[in-house]
Amino acid sequence: MRTLCYILAVLAMAVGLEAAPAVLDFSRSHTMEDVRRSGLNFKRLSDFGHSVAYVYQEDRDIVVLLPGGRKISQRITIAHLNEKDGVLTRLELLGLIMPQDQAYQVAGTFCDSFNLRHDKLEAWNRLNLGKKYDTEELYLSSEKKYYPAVGINLFTSFNRYYPWTIRFHIRWNWTEHRGKDEEQAWREFPTPSIPEISLNPPSGLKYDGAAAYRADRDAAYDQAKKAKGSQAQGAGVVAASPGTHWWLWAFGFAWLSLLALLWFVIRKFGSKR
């Protein structure tokens, strides 16, 4: 009995550890050591001298802490980061897919959190509302309003079909804010009105990004199959053209008239001889 309780306790701890989100704390610094402390195992992709690119490919709940007490949560499927001499320069987190109304809601919360205008978001929503394929992606960024520069990119999830996917960007030491750091951000940028936001679907549901594509593909296949069946049923039956009969009558009448004329000419002139 004691052994069973021990096993159950270990399993419960394992589940708890697996369910716990990984925390990327960039509130005071942005180094590879901060990434290692999160426990995420990024794999090296390429190395260009001092600049190195990494990738992380697992479904995982992530919490990103930024200067000013900001906390951004996201369930990711893949992440990319770049660092130079051990200091991060870029991080991209690819999140879950969601219908347009939920993507619109999440993007609106992002705008409110970083005091961004909603005009681009509203135009994007009107442009894509009720359509099957995307006509324009959306990128919202806090450049010049916050350090580091953060942004979200909304794009369709599979073969230009809805629903939408959200990619979260973070960039440090870019041209516009070169020389800024986290300590300066804590001092100069105001406390956010919405310090904690989530970039996950508000419904909490998991959506299939290829469902719309498969539905259209299956519908096209069924339609082609039905059309082929209709052709097979009509094989051997020749439909009469409504314009065929009068052409036959006209041709026959002209031919008979020509024969009659020849007969008349031969008889008349032949009798004079």
User: How does pLDDT run across 33-78, given as a tens digit for each residue?
Assistant: 999 999 999 999 887 767 899 999 999 999 999 999 999 999 999 9
Cα end-to-end span (Å), the chain: 136
pLDDT over 80 (residue 238):
no
**One-letter identity of residue 197:** I
Q: What pLDDT, on a 0 to 100 scale, did the predictor assign at position 236?
A: 47
Structural domain spans, the chain: 27-206
pLDDT bracket for residue 202 (50, 70, 90): very high
Q: Which residue has the higher pLDDT, 127 or 150?
A: 150
| The model scores a pTM over 0.85 | no
Q: Which residue has the tokens 């794999």?
A: 43
CA–CA dist 45, 56 (Å, integer):
10
Spatial CA neighbour of 149 closest among 26, 37, 25, 50? 26
Q: Which residue has the tokens 């030491």?
A: 173
Spatial CA neighbour of 122 closest among 142, 100, 143? 100
Mean pLDDT computed over every residue of the chain: 82
Q: Is 62 in contact with 21 (CB distance < 8 Å)? A: yes
CA–CA dist 198, 202 (Å, integer):
8
pLDDT over 50 (residue 4):
no
pLDDT over 50 (residue 164):
yes
State the alpha helices, DSSP H only, in the chain. Answer: 2-19, 32-37, 100-113, 119-128, 182-188, 211-233, 244-272
Q: What pLDDT, on a 0 to 100 scale, did the predictor assign at position 176?
A: 64
**One-letter identity of residue 205:** L
Most confident of 20-24, 169-173, 212-216, 220-224: 20-24
